[in-house]
Amino acid sequence: MRMSENRDLRQQRYTVLTEARALKEKGAAMTPQERSKLARLVGQAQQLRERIERVEGEMMGTVRGGAIETETRTETTRDRDHQEAFRSYLRYGKNEMPVEHRQFLETHFRARSETRDMVTGGGNALQGVGGGYLVPIGFSDRIETALKFSGNLMKVCEVMPTETGAPLPWPTADDTQQQAELIGEGQQVTEGDVNLSNIIFGSYKFSSKLVKCSIELVEDSYFPIEDWLADVLGVRFARALNQYFTTGTGTNQPRGLVTAVQAAGNVVQAVGSSANTGNADGTNTIGSTDILNLIHSVDPLYREDPSCRLKYGRLLFPQTLVSGAPDMICGYEVALNNAMDQLQSTPSSPKVTRYTMAFGPMKKYLVRKVKDLSLMVLRERFMDYGLLAYIAWMRVDGNLLSGAQEAAQAPLALLSNTY
């Protein structure tokens, strides 16, 4: 599948670039062997970049004449120029940055559809005064890392990049009620159409809110503003996206995993851990029977998917004693998610239902991501305070890929505790 190939290639390239940057930071201290390795890594990154462009071009239908149009400049030169121009933009803004940096961002990246004209507005366009630019690769990688670290769902779900935010229909099918038939010689076959439907992905805009920073700090040449800003924005977006992709209602916002599975109807009611403890534990506990019932409520074909995970809001057990090994329950990896419901500690009247655990192939939850993060510098708004302000946008959507007509055929299941 091209989407999976694209994701794997990007991960490979990120790993190669991370190793290359670590070597480059040694500077004159590099050994001849390390310099040779750095050159080899840069070449690998360029090759991966070209493969990514080719795959994404085929995904978006941008293949021209059977080949993808690629830059002739080397990866090292392009990244360095972009980083320098972007750093200048962060420090001085569009109007006061050096002319050569502004021309690079406006001319070079407009040709690659990597600028946003803030004055056009309308629809999903970003509105405002001046211009905003998509971030360079290194900055974007830091944001992606923060999203995966802080928002665990982004680490295990499927992420699909798109060039525009236009409504995107995604076809689904449910053929679980059909099977091949045995017929005699000369007999007519019966009809067995596939039950088709589709899911429409939109593009909801998320803002980082304004991030203010003093001019003195920004213009200090020893202050790595791009690193600081990437960390701040990454955590802010991660908190919001993980919450919406987990519990979003689907009305004027992404449809979260819990909401989608609940609507599919594949919900297992917890009976509690009394069978394990021998005590009269209520349904505000989770026993081994509950976990087994949850796992077996998912079809065996889905349980064999390598992306199967148990998602839970907090640990049930100590972490694994094996260094580097993932925490497991019943042979399935555990993915912690703070946006999942916590167990009730006291009874409620009327009783309250909490969805405390999910199970299934998490790659059945698809996140649609439009372009990359776009960032704007506001120099005038807080100038009387001696402050600069930064604001960033992301456009995303998410939903469960399921065309199941029956709850038992849904790819994921929820465990509910009513107490």
User: Which pLDDT does position 150 carry in this prediction?
Assistant: 62
- Is residue 125 very low, low, confident or very high in pLDDT (cuts 50, 70, 90)? very low
3-state secondary structure of 284: coil
Q: What are phi and psi of 125, to 5 degrees?
A: -65, 150
- Which range, 225-234, 258-267, 272-281, 406-415, has the best average confidence (pLDDT)? 258-267
* Contact of 396 with 254, CB cutoff 8 Å: yes
What is the residue type of 76?
Answer: T
- pLDDT (0 to 100) of residue 55: 73
The reported pLDDT for the residue numbered 322 is 59
What is the pLDDT confidence band of residue 67, given thresholds at 50, 70 and 90? very low
* Backbone phi and psi for residue 205, each to the nearest 5 degrees, phi listed first: -90, 125
Mean pLDDT of the 161-185 span:
86
Unique residue bearing structure tokens 């009874």: 347
Could you tell me which of 196, 200, 192, 199 has the C-alpha nearest to residue 173?
196
| pLDDT at position 56 over 70 | no
Measured between alpha carbons, how far apart are the two ends of the chain, in Å?
A: 43
What average pLDDT does this structure show over 39-56? 78
DSSP letter (8 states) at residue 108 = I
Residue 66's pLDDT band (cuts 50, 70, 90): very low
Structure tokens at 20: 């290359």
pLDDT of residue 323: 60
| pLDDT tens sequence across 18-28 | 788 788 778 77
Q: Which two tokens stand for residue 45?
A: 């990154």
pLDDT tens readout for residues 355-397: 999 999 999 999 999 887 788 888 888 888 989 898 988 999 9
Whether 70 has a pLDDT exceeding 50, the answer reads no
Give 144 or 206, the one with higher predicted confidence.
206
Percent of the chain whose predicted confidence (pLDDT) is above 90 = 23
How much is the average pLDDT of 12-39? 80
pLDDT at 50 over 50: yes
Percent of the chain with pLDDT over 70: 79
**Whole-model pTM over 0.85:** no
Q: In 111-256, where do the E strands start and end?
A: 115-117, 131-134, 158-162, 168-174, 195-201, 204-207, 211-214
Query: Is residue 116 pLDDT above 50, yes or no?
Result: no
> Which pLDDT belongs to residue 73?
40
pLDDT tens digits for range 330-344: 888 888 888 899 888
Average pLDDT of the chain, as a whole number: 79
List the one residue out of 364, 314, 305 whose CA is nearest residue 334. 314
